[in-house]
Structure formats: structure tokens, C-alpha cells
Amino acid sequence: MRSCFSILVFGIAVLFAMMPVSAEVVNVTTSTQLFYDGYEGLGTNVSHAAYPDDTGDFDPVAVVGSGTITYEVNNYDGQVTDHIYTQAVEGIDLGPYEGKNYLRMQGSALVQYTMGFTPQNTADDRVHYEQMLCLSDLVAWNASDFGLAIYGKAGDGTILFQLQAFGSGDVRYVNYAGGTPPPTISTGLAFDMNVWQKWEIDYAFGAATGSLTIDGETFNGLPFAATEVGWGQIIFNKPATAATGKGVTFVDEVPEPAGMVLLLSGMAGLLAYAWRKRR
């Protein structure tokens, strides 16, 4: 009976130890977590509601979890501007995935958000990426407003693939084999504005294609431009828009499934303990 109660205590303790992460990249074959980001642990390295920055313009870089996260707004004049963490933006209902802080990408210039981790390229190893995203309609939407790309290791400049989201809700991929400039082709998947949705990418190193999943809907023909190059960076970008304050994108928490499994196991143990005690 005590063991049942111990399972409950252990499950709850591990759940709190494994708080939700904002992004996760996992090598499924080796069961290795390549990257995770818990925004709540960034402290004074970046500007957000709990840790306001008063040092002026800077290029915040924080080593968090197993990777390096770089937030950059480059106005092409050598000036790098702070980013904003926020809990709300007027006129936008952020829905159920509200954490203490969100990463908000906005501005009149290019915004990039890079997640870097140890490059992976072992043939046939399967990698899984997932993250919660909220794309806002407070944008110009005269072209693609949001891009997600996977690169090789930092510095080599190899683009493995790139996705673009358009104002119509259409999610497209860039066909780098299709000419110059490379055309964009619809995945057949759509996103909803102002709603948190889970974006997932699955790929086996060396394969010509991978899959993209948005809230359970999957496209299996996502082409990779350089199959011999492993993953090393995931880069988001909010292209330049004409109006300041346009182009808002939010990135938020992905629940940590292992912690939930342990919690449920603990709850089952407690129920068993209570049932046996009543008998």
C-alpha cells in the first residue's frame, strides 16, 4: 500500500521537475533529447515580463537546456534590438496554451529566432520536432508572413527545407529544385490565425522527404534539399513588413509527455491504495 502512495509522490515530483518546455527536438532512434527550451529559465538574459531589460539594445543569447537560443532583430544598419516577452497582446485571445511568458516576434524589420543544437546526421536515425505556435492576423499579409526552416550546423549555411505561411492560411514549402527563384508549393495543410497549434516535423536522416503535421493533419511529401547534411538549427523568421507592430508571432509551451505519464501512474496508484484500504 505504501508503494502505491510512493508512486504518486514520485510521479508528482518528477512532473514538477520536468515542467513544460517551449520546444523540443528528439532523436527517436536513440531516445536522445537534442534540444529543449524552457523560457521560464532564461532569467535576465532576455527581456520579458518578469525580467525587464534596461541595458538598451543588445543581442541576447542564452544557453538554455541543451542548445543555444539566439533572438535577433536586424534592421540592416548594425543595430540589434531587444525582443519582447509578453503575456497578452490587445485584440488577440491566445487560447489555452497560456504560460507565464511567450516569445513575441514583431517589428518592421526582419525578425529571426534560432534554436541551435548538436548536429545530427547518422543515417536512418529518426528525428522529431514539435512546438506550439500562434500566428497573428495583425500583419500586412501581402506575402508570406512566417517562415520555418531547418539548417545544418551553425555556420555552414545549408538550408535543408523551408516552410512559408501565407495570409490565406496556406502552408507551403520551398522547392529548391524547381528553378530560380525557387517556387513555393502548397502542402495542403492550413493554419488558423490567433489560435495555438502544434507544429511537428518528422524525418529520417538520408531520406528525400519527411513529414509535417499541424494539429494532427499530416503532409508526408516534405522534400529535403540536402539529405546528407544533418540537423543543427531550427530558424523562424518574420519577414520585414511596412508597418511597425505588424507581423506578430508567438511561440509557447509544448507539454512534457513523460511527466504526465508519471503523474497518471501516481494517480492510478493512489486510487488502488484507496480501494484496497476500503476493503
- Please indicate whether residue 247 or residue 224 has the higher confidence score (pLDDT): 224
| C-alpha–C-alpha distance, residues 259 and 87, integer Å | 25
Angle (nearest 5°) at CA 157 between 205 and 232: 40
Asked whether residue 208 carries a pLDDT value surpassing 50, the answer given is yes
How confident is the model over 89-98, as a mean pLDDT?
43
Confidence at residue 16, expressed as pLDDT on a 0 to 100 scale: 36
Mean pLDDT of 266-274: 54
Model confidence at 84, pLDDT cuts 50, 70, 90, reads very low
Helices (H), 18-93: none
The domain defined by 22-255 folds into Jelly Rolls (2.60.120)
Domain spans in the chain, listed from the N-terminal domain onward: 1-18+256-279, 22-255
Predicted confidence band at 213 (pLDDT cuts at 50, 70, 90)?
very high
- Determine how many CB atoms are found less than 10 A away from the CB of residue 140: 15
pLDDT at 34: 72
Confidence of residue 153 (pLDDT cuts 50, 70, 90): low
pLDDT tens digits for 17-66? 344 455 677 888 888 777 665 444 443 333 333 333 333 322 333 333 33
Q: What is the pLDDT of residue 151?
A: 74
- Global pTM? 0.64
Q: Which of 148, 158, 78 is nearest to 113 (CA)?
A: 148
8 A C-beta contact, residue 219 and residue 209: no
What CA–CA distance (Å, rounded) separates 219 from 217?
7
pLDDT digits (tens, 9 = 90+) for 106-120: 555 566 666 666 677
Phi, psi for 187 (deg, rounded to 5): -85, -15
* Cα dihedral 242, 71, 256, 232 sign: positive
Number of Cβ within 10 Å of residue 275's Cβ equals 10
Residue 272: what pLDDT? 59
User: How many CB atoms are closer than 10 A to CB 100?
Assistant: 12
pLDDT for res 155: 60
pLDDT for 22 equals: 53
Contact indicator for 37, 67 with CB cutoff of 8 Å: yes
Q: Are 117 and 34 in contact, with CB atoms under 8 Å apart?
A: yes
pLDDT above 70: percentage of residues in the chain? 39
E-strand ranges in the chain read: 23-27, 32-37, 61-64, 67-74, 84-86, 102-105, 110-120, 126-135, 146-151, 159-165, 170-174, 184-190, 197-204, 209-214, 217-223, 231-238, 249-252
Between 228 and 118, residue with greater pLDDT: 118
Higher pLDDT, 249 or 96: 249
